[in-house]
Structure 1
Amino acid sequence: MMFPPSNALYVGPQVRQLVTDLSLRGLSELRVYTDFDHTLTFPTSLECHEVFASCNGLPQAFQAAVRPLLDFETPGSPGLVLDADAWWSTYHNALVAADPPLHRSQIGPIVASTGIELRPGADDLLRACCERRVPILVASAGITDIILSVIDTGENVSAKPQLSVDVSQSLLERSARYTNVTVLANRCEFDASDRLVGMLPRAPYHSLNKASTTELVGEFLSSTPRHCGIVLGDKPRDGALGLEAIGVTTLRVGFANGGERHQMSDYEAAYDVVLPRNSPLDCIVELIASLG
């Protein structure tokens, strides 16, 4: 096993020691923390919030309301001027206000129609961790229902495995296909008729408050304590989850997918290893396999 791989764009000075620490601790001490959009998915796939906006089956009023939010080019557009709290809240409020409301049964077909692809090696990573009982926390500013629709493709998801920590029920949901995978993102709240009536959490989980992850789900993490972590992301901010504050030794691996909005120096400051944007996840699968 070669880690970091030869195509790495950056390798930090602590990588060899971090890999040694992971090896000494073994799989029983490991948890994987990963972003979803353009980290587990291919970098040209739609992001979660683009999925509903691109769907012709949802009301035109909703599409008209959120289209300006996805304009990141026009000077003065809401996509450029709104802060993160306002951006996510405006989008979620428009989705909840859609008339007729979104029905739970629509989500799977909508996601399937967009052709979202997992990054090469992502399914292997999820499977390898499941087989080795390595928990994965998908910490995403996206939408849980879309994430699980992609991860659980082909599975009967009508009965979700229950989490053991009640306090986190409004924040976390577990995959039906890979029961070691738990998703922290923005969840659709449905009524008894499976119609969308709200979004959870009320204060959106977004790209600029990921550092609060350990505060949001600390009880969940402490219920199955792991003292080592592999953190995966495609933006510099994805690497900052606040794990060091709870004593987790982390190896942070990023994909340089930031375009013009992020410089290479931003990635080097956020990650221990930086890989090209289209890199597969094979090296992470091999690293985990080498640990036990």
Structure 2
Amino acid sequence: MFTLRGYLLTRFCCPKRKSCIPTNVSRKYPFKSRSFHKLLKMSDNPNKLEKILGQRHVSIKNPKIVRKKIETLIKGGASSLQVISDFDKTISKYRHLNKRCPSSHCIIETHSVIPQEIKEEMRSMAQKYYAIETDHNLTVEDKIPHMIDWNEKGTGLFIKAGVKREHLPHMVKDSDVCLRDGFVDLVDTLHKSNVPLLIFSAGVADVVEEVIRQQASVHPNMKIVANTMDFDQKGALIGFKGELLHPFNKNESALEGDPYFEEIRHRHNVILLGDSIGDLTMANGVPGVNVSLKIGFLNAKFEELLDTFMDGYDIVLEDDQTMEVVNAILEEIMG
């Protein structure tokens, strides 16, 4: 059993070092930062997980709590576990081969099927509303009406562009979207151990599923909750089904009344994966949570957001385009 022998010490300032890029993680634009070192006091024979958690791009604010949570997850085993994850920039990469990877919406917006004038309208809208979404001076309540407005206008442009169901596989195949290294192993591990994977996304459910189908596997233990397209009998987009999911209402309360709740009612241990502060609420509504280990992918604005991420997430991964940490933890849980 993993005990995280010894204990992790939080990072301290190292002014001589300008970059904390681990050897297995590349960063296109090295940044000038506080640049922390972290000491990992372990036994003479550290196990795989201990070594991985000791890498420089892994930040842990409270090592003792993280150790206790991991030990609780291991004790509960696969039968008590569920995994909840965001999709865009969490399951999918933030960048690949020094190129930004598109979100599920952008996969549609940038495809050749979309007329150029509509692409320009979408680009202008994205600049406007994304600035609102990420403005730390606005409250969530202030942002929500803008997110709804963004979705309604974007849906109108998708319909105007003539998006059809048959376009989606080609849009995904032609895009630069890429799943994180190790995601295939992650979903296979969860499937073999019958651990449910709930994917919460403010993106397009049809595109999310198509990406996973093309680059990994869609297993029966996987549930995708996102904005699902509605097509007419000819396969033309006419809108989206149900209530809008946006970055600020993604949580399991959105599944109220869904049979999925009954299937996971006995699973009180949660691993949560996200890439934004809004993703921290995805486990809200899970009944009787025993322990929730939150792992955050900090993809950009490292200087600006590290402290905020460390306040919310148990483990923060800076510029890591892999599932290495998550898979190492699952390996210990599955035995």
Q: Distance in 2 between matches of 1:149 and 1:65?
A: 25
- 1:114 maps to which residue? 175
| Counterparts in 2 of 1:133 and 1:242: CA distance versus 1, 3 Å | closer
The aligned counterpart of 1:235 is 276
Once residues 316 and 255 of structure 2 are traced to their aligned partners in structure 1, the CA distance between those partners, rounded to angstroms, is: 27
Q: Kindly indicate whether residue 53 of structure 2 is the aligned counterpart of residue 10 of structure 1.
A: no
Q: CA deviation at 1:154?
A: 7.1
Tell me: CA distance 1:33–1:92, structure 2 relative to 1, closer, same or farther (3 Å): same
SS in 1 for 2:88: coil
Match in the other structure for 2:316 = 274
Segments of structure 1 that go 5 or more residues without pairing to the other structure are 72-76, 156-175
Moved more, 104-113 or 260-269: 260-269
Assess if the C-alpha contact under 8 Å between 1:237 and 1:270 holds in 2: no
The structure, 1 or 2, with the larger RCO (C-alpha pairs under 8 Å, 6+ apart) is 1
**1:253 maps to amino acid:** I
The change in CA–CA distance for 1:268 and 1:154 in structure 2 (over 3 A counts) is closer
Q: What TM-score results when the alignment is normalised by the length of structure 2?
A: 0.72
Aligned to 2:155: 92
Distance 1:69 1:250 in 2: 36
Partner of 1:205: 245
Pairwise CA distance, 1:88: 2.1
Aligned-partner Cα distance in 2 for 1:151–1:22: 26
Secondary structure, aligned partner of 1:40:
coil
Partners of 1:200 and 1:119 lie apart in 2 by 28
- How many angstroms does 1:133 deviate by? 0.7
Secondary structure of the 2:198 match is: strand
User: Map of 1:43-62 to 2, 5 A cutoff?
Assistant: 43-44=94-95, 45-62=101-118
Q: How far, CA to CA, are the matches of 1:152 and 1:209 in structure 2? A: 26
Larger-gyration structure (1/2): 2
> What amino acid maps onto 2:276 in structure 1?
K
Q: 2:261 aligns with which of 222, 236, 256?
A: 222
CA distance in 2, matches of 1:262, 1:206: 23
Count how many residue pairs are aligned between Structure 1 and Structure 2: 262
SS at 1:152's partner residue?
A: helix
Tell me how far 1:10 sits from its aligned partner: 2.4
From 208, 219, 223, the counterpart of 1:182:
223
Q: Is the 8 A contact 1:236 1:270 kept in 2?
A: yes
Amino acid at match of 2:149: A
SS at structure 2 position matched to 1:153: helix
- In 2, the alpha carbon distance for the partners of 1:268 and 1:79 equals 23
Q: Distance in 2 between matches of 1:283 and 1:79?
A: 29
CA gap 1:79/1:280 in 2 versus in 1, 3 angstroms: closer
Where in structure 2 are there 5+ consecutive unaligned residues? 1-47, 96-100, 133-142
Deviations 1:35-56 (A, max 9, x none): 1111111112111121111112
Letter of the 1:181 counterpart = M
| Alignment partners' CA distance in 1, 2:192 and 2:165 | 30
Structure 2 counterpart of 1:193: 234
Paired residue secondary structure (1:148): helix
- Cα distance change of structure 1 residues 274 and 154 upon mapping to structure 2, 3 Å threshold: closer
Q: Secondary structure at the match of 2:228?
A: strand
Q: Answer whether contact 1:137 1:182 (CA < 8 A) is retained.
A: yes
Aligned-pair CA distance for 1:278: 2.1
RMSD: 2.2
Q: What is the 5 A alignment of 1:43-192?
A: 43-44=94-95, 45-71=101-127, 77-81=128-132, 83-98=146-161, 101-153=162-214, 177-192=218-233
In the TM superposition, what whole-angstrom CA distance separates every residue of 1:124-159 from its partner, at most 9, and x where no partner exists? Answer: 11111111111100101111111111100179xxxx
TM-score, normalising length: structure 1: 0.82
- Native 8 Å contact 2:92 2:180 kept in 1: yes
Give the fraction of aligned pairs with identical amino acids, expressed as a percent.
23
| CA deviation map 1:60-81 (0-9, x unaligned) | 453233121222xxxxx35435
Distance in 1, matches of 2:188 and 2:259, equals 22
Offset at residue 269 of structure 1 (A): 1.8
CA gap of 1:274–1:143, structure 2 versus 1, over 3 A, is same
Q: Determine the C-alpha separation between the residues in 1 that align with 2:314 and 2:213.
A: 30
Q: Assess if the C-alpha contact under 8 Å between 1:234 and 1:258 holds in 2.
A: no
Find the aligned partners of 2:167 and 2:285 in 1 and give their Cα distance.
40
Equivalent residue letter for 2:254: L
